[in-house]
Structures are given as C-alpha cells and as structure tokens.
Amino acid sequence: MEVLEDIKQHPIFRILLPFVLGIVFYFITKPIIHNYVIITTVFSLVFIIVVFHILAGKYWNYQWLYGAFIYLAFFVFGFIISVQQGKTSDIGIKGEAKILGTVENEPKLKENSVQTRISIEAYETNNEWYATTGFIQLFLEKTDEAAELKAGDQIIFSPDLQQYENAGNPYEFDYEKYLWQHLISYSDYLTGNEWIKTETYKKFHVKRFAQNIRNSLINIYRENGLEGDELAVATALSLGNKSSLSDNVRQSYSISGGMHVLAVSGLHVGIVFLVINSLLGFLKKKKHLLIKTVLVILLIWFYALITGLSPSVTRASLMFSLFAIGKVMKRNPGFLNILSTSALISLIINPFAITEIGFQLSYAAVGSIVFFYPRIYSLITVSNKILDKLWSLVAVSVAAQIGTLPLTIYYFNQFSNYFILTNILLIPLVSIAIYSAILLIVVSPIGFLSVFVGKIFNFIIYLMNSGVSFIESLPWSASTIYIDRFQFVLLIAIILLVVFILEYRKNKLFIPALFCLICFMGNALINKIESINQRDIVVYNIRNTSVINFIDARDNIIVTGVNSNLSDGKNKTFAKYHLRRGLNEEKIVFIEHLNPDYILRNIISINNPHVFLKNGLIGFHNLRLALVGDKLKYPKNPSVKLNVDYVIVTGYKGVSFNELLGSFNFNSVIIDSSVADYYAENITQQLLLAGYNVFNVKESGAFIHSIENEI
C-alpha cells in the first residue's frame, strides 16, 4: 500500500509506465497497421474515457475503471506514435533513382571515408521529381570536397539502394537493427564522382548554424595553444565534438571509467546552469525571477544547440528547464516527476530513443543518484570540509554505478575497477575545465589574457589525460564480464528489490532478492560448465578475409591470413562471441604458414593435442578438413584422394572445380569470405550441379559446426 501511495504522489510517473509499455509492445510485435485502424482506436478510447469520466462523477464504484482506461489510453498512445515513427524509415524509392538530399549533421571523418546522415527531400525517376522523406547513411570517398560538407548542404547522388544486412556472425553488433531504430532506410558508399554538391543550400539550418559556432570556438581553442589530444578532449567535453579523439585516448577513458565526461550530458549542463545562474545573480528581486528563468532556459538551450543537440545534452537541458520552471512557479513537483516528465517529452518526440544506450544509462544514473546518494553519503559523517567533498564524490560515483551496472556490463561487457578513483580525479577537473573554457571564450578578444587562460585550460586537460592514462595502466584496471539477457533481467530485479527493501523496510523481499542472486550465480555456473565441453568450428564472414576459429573447451585457435588485422586486436567482430563462450586469448596461425617450414612453430603456438595443421590439412578431434586456395600448397597425388569431412575454399581466386575433385573425397564445401564473388559463384554452381553441399559464408553468414556431442 505504501508503494501505491507513493506512486499516486507522482502522476507523470504513473502515465509514463503504460506509455513506455506501449512503445515496448510495438518493438515486440513490429506491426503493420493502417491509418484507419489507428484513428478508430483513438476515437474509441476518447469516447470511452469521456463516458467513464461522466459515470465516475456519479458512481464512485466506476472510479477504478476510469483510471484503467486512462492507462490504456497512454499505452495505445505510446504504441501509435511508435507505429507512426516506424513508417518514416521507409523513403518509398523503388529501383534506380537520382536523389536530392540535405546533409543532416556535421560529417564525421573516418580513416578512409566521410560518414554523414542525409535527409531525403526528393527523388527523380523517368525524368520526374517526386517529394519524399526519410534518411540515408552515406559513406563518401575521403576527398577535400567531402570533408568540407556542412549541415544544410544539398547533394544529388544516385546510390545503389540496397538495405543493409548483417554479416551473420554470432553475437555480432546488430547494425541492421541499429539503422532501423535511427530511422535510416539504407546505407551506401559513394566515390567522389558519384555525387555532386548543389549550388543551393538551406539558408537557415539549425545544425549548420551550430556547426559554424562550434568551429569558431574550436578555432579559439586552437589559437590559444590547445593541440593534439588536449584539443580533442577539450572540444569533446565542452562542445560535444568527439570526432578528433584518438583510439588511445578513447581506450584510456573507457577502461578507467571516465568515458562519460567526454559526452556532454547532465554533468556539463549542470555546470553551465550554475555558471549562468551565478552570472544572472543580480536579478534577485521577485519581479525579475521570471526574466531570469527565461534567460537561464534560453542560454541552456543555446549551449545544447552549439554542442550539437545530442540526445544526452537535450535530455539534460530539458530536465534543468523543468527544474527552473518548477522553481519560478514556487512548486516542488518532486524529482521523480521532473525525471518522468523529461522522459515522457523525449519519448513523445522520438519513441525510438528508448532503444538508445545513452537514454537508458542517463535515466538509470540520475534515478540511482537521487535514491542511493543520500543513503550512501549519510553512512559516514566527515567533519573536514575537503575530506567531506571527497566522500561526497565517492558517494555520487557509487550511487551512479549501482544504477548503471547492469547496462554497462550487458552492453559493453566491461567494469572499470577504479571508477571511484577516476571520478575523484575527473569530476573536479572537468568542472574547472568547463569554467576555463567559458572564461577563454569570454576573454578571447583580449590577446595576452586569452593566451594565459588557454595555458590553464590546456594544463587542466593535460592533467585529465595523464590521470586516466595512469589509471588505465594500473594492474586489473578493468574486468571483462559477460552476462546474458536472463542475468541482465535478474541483476535489475535485484537492484529494484534492494530499493524496495531500503525505502519501505520490506524485509520479506530479502527472500526473492536472494533467490534472484542464486539464479544469477547458477546461470553463470552453467555457462562455465558448458564452456568446458564445447568443441566448435566457426568460419566467420569478415569482408575479404579468411577467419577459421577452432574452439576446444576454452582454447581458442584462429587460422587467418597474414594481411588480416586480427593480430593487432583491432577486429572486434567476434570479441563478444568469444566472451560469451568463455574463451582464452586467441592463438593465431597464419594460412601462409601452413607448410612444413612452420610446422614446429605452429605446434608450439597452438599447444593443443586435438588440433593438427600441415599443408592446408587440418585435424580437429574426429574431423578432417582441407583448406584450399590459390596461395596454399597441399599434397597432390592423382592416384590417391584424401578423405575429408569439409573442404574450406579460401583466397581471392579460390580453387578450380576439377582440382578440388581430383584431390579430395568430400561431401560438403565451405566458401569463405575472402573468395571473390565471381569465383565463388562459378564454383558454387559446379558443385551444386555435381550434388555436393555448398555453404557460402558471404551469402549465409558464419558457418558453425559443433562436434561436442560426437566425441
């Protein structure tokens, strides 16, 4: 009853729950619903609510039914706007067409391309132009013209409109789903001569305006001595531009647990809010309170604009705006109502935002801080002011970590062991850095003063970078952890049960909390037992690359080409899969080294009695495989054919059909993704006509064969 009474005190939270469930229901069902069904449903619900509103006034017994229909209405509302949002992902273009589109945001410079999101305006087919809407993600060949594109620029291009399909590797990132959730219909790569920039552009484009301001501010940083990693981090934490961050910097902040400071969010907006509030402190009188509030809100949203209006900064700005409005109205709506209102508005604007990791993390962190921080902080009383501030930072860090723990482990499979140390270091420095950035911008016209402030700003960023680099270098700085969806749900359930126990003194909930914990540990134990008995062969689908994985219990052997990027650890295609299977670090053997000259080296590096590699012939437990290709040498004896279970064709040209039949007795052939399409199609047709089984990983995704039940 106490829980229900508390919920009644937060009406926005009450309607948010069914609204979110309606959105979730859409993602589960992904329905195709016509407009007339939606309109009929809406009018029916409005009519029913009106009728029950009248009845509830006359007959108290109908009060609960009236509330039920209100909840149902918000459930349907969440469902309907999700359906409508999903329809915008279809741009309605069939076949070949010339497309006119507008650059939607600031292009991102990649290693070999320029990535940008294009808002479709119209398309031409049969010499006729038709208006349409939707989004396409383009990767443009890296040229000076592509790198100079700005938000608002219009381009004409003729892409090969093919919807993106995942590679089909186990536990890979679902990029196809990611694009759909971001309302992107297609993704394509264009060379420099496959698109042209028009002479016209949208005269006023909000993001172009923001990009121009942001670039001007970056130039101020650069002119006052910031460069390299310091400039990259400064622009990321103050202006939201992370495009210049190096891989090393990203890794340091990620492993140390400080990546959140590089994404402009509640922390940054909160500091800006305090600065603006202080600068407008002269507006103290009651009659000036409204003017001050309006100015604070406008300046917060201006800051959000120049940082790119990212979802995280938009959510934070909305939250602080609601807080400011509540203050001027002299009401205390409660933080849960403010949090719920900002979430409700965000989801009404974009219901698909609920799928974004940032959305989930931000609300989990804020909610967790609001609930757990005062309880953790009150555990220890510190009289010394400096130590008290440190303890406060520790309490905030732990509180935020409790709420975000299930999400960070589930999505990123990583836990930063020194996150408390990182936050104690970074949060004060970030605050000083943002104050320094604001001061630098203000005094930039004053040469000698701006240079002095620039040096301070640069030094603060240097301390941040050095600090996280040091924390990253510490032993056991991060733990790699995998949890499946069932464990993820159990972890959330445990945290929620702890919340109820602490808030409502419901000691009876210790039993279900303990049960969830036992289930969590039991599931982890089952996964470990399964990993001991696993015996698998996996041929991955990685573009133009041969990758064959032999999994023997926790032993992890990969056969690949010398020119692949697997040996430097950059390829993350199968990282989550290996983590899920509980595998040890990869033992890499190169295809080019499968000859007698390297046999001893291969035996030593593999160190597994169940795996044998020689001349392209592979033995794995009771299976025999032949790895054949244009760069492989294997024994050829016209009078004797080798019996193998599988033939794996590799290399650009693969192998000829006659050569294959002349060397091996086999039933099945696997064509890996290194074989060119022309050669793969040619040999596939010949093998199918001859009655053999063929598996082309480019077309069907990764090939997986388990032999654990055959031993």
How many H-runs (helices) and E-runs (strands) does the chain carry? 24, 23
**Contact present, 558 and 589 (Cβ < 8 Å):** yes
Torsion angles phi and psi, residue 331, rounded to 5: -125, 150
Residue 576 has pLDDT above 70, yes or no: yes
Mean pLDDT of 273-288: 77
pLDDT band at 330 (very low <50, low <70, confident <90, very high): low
Res 62: pLDDT? 56
| Residues 454-476: tens digit of each pLDDT | 999 999 999 999 999 999 999 98
Cα(406)–Cα(357) distance, rounded to whole angstroms?
Answer: 12
Whether residue 596 contacts residue 617, with contact meaning beta carbons closer than 8 Å, is answered with: no
The percentage of the chain sitting over the pLDDT mark of 70, rounded to a whole number, equals: 88
Give the largest CA-CA distance in the chain. 102
Alpha carbon distance 683, 662 (integer Å): 14
Count of C-beta atoms within a 10 Å radius of residue 218? 18
Q: What is the 3-state secondary structure (H, E, C) of 250-289?
A: HHHHHHHCCHHHHCCCHHHHHHHHHHHHHHCCCCCCHHHH
Percent of the chain with pLDDT over 90: 21
Choice among 56-70, 573-587, 663-677 with the minimum mean pLDDT: 56-70
Whether the per-residue pLDDT at 87 is higher than 80: the answer is no
Arithmetic mean of pLDDT, 198-219: 77
CA distance 32 to 438: 50
Residue-level pLDDT at 636: 61
- Pairing relation of β-strands 153-157 and 195-201? antiparallel
What pLDDT was estimated at residue 197? 87
Least confident of 249-253, 328-332, 344-348, 453-457: 328-332
Sequence-separated (6 or more) residues with CB below 8 Å from residue 61: none
**Tokens standing for 283?**
């507006």
User: Cα separation of 215 and 387, whole Å?
Assistant: 40
Whether pTM exceeds 0.85: no
Instruction: Decide: 140 and 190 in contact? Cβ < 8 Å.
Output: yes
Q: Tell me: the pLDDT tens digits for 589-632?
A: 888 888 777 777 888 788 889 998 887 889 999 899 999 887 67
In this predicted structure, what is the pLDDT of residue 648? 93
d(CA 401, CA 408): 9
**pLDDT tier for residue 93 given thresholds of 50, 70 and 90:** low
Q: What is the pLDDT of residue 458?
A: 93
Residues forming a β-bridge with 219: none
Mean pLDDT for the stretch of residues 297-302: 88
DSSP character string of 604-662: HHH--TTEEEETTEEEETTEEEEEEETT------TT-PEE-SEEEEESSS---HHHHHH
Q: Between the ranges 47-51, 174-178, 666-670, where is the mean pLDDT highest?
A: 666-670
pLDDT band at 671; cut points 50, 70, 90: very high
β-pairing verdict for 623-629 and 617-620: antiparallel
Which residue carries 């070999």 as its tokens? 112
Give the model's pLDDT for residue 52: 61
pLDDT value at position 119? 85
Beta strands 642-643 and 646-650: pairing type? unpaired
Q: How far apart are the C-alpha atoms of 275 and 478, rounded to whole Å?
A: 35
pLDDT digits (tens, 9 = 90+) for 543-554: 888 999 999 999
Residue count of the chain? 711
Q: What is the mean pLDDT of the chain?
A: 83
Alpha carbon distances (Å) from 149 to 61, 105, 152, 207, 211: 64, 10, 9, 12, 11
Q: What is the pLDDT of residue 48?
A: 67
d(CA 172, CA 179) in angstroms, rounded, equals 15
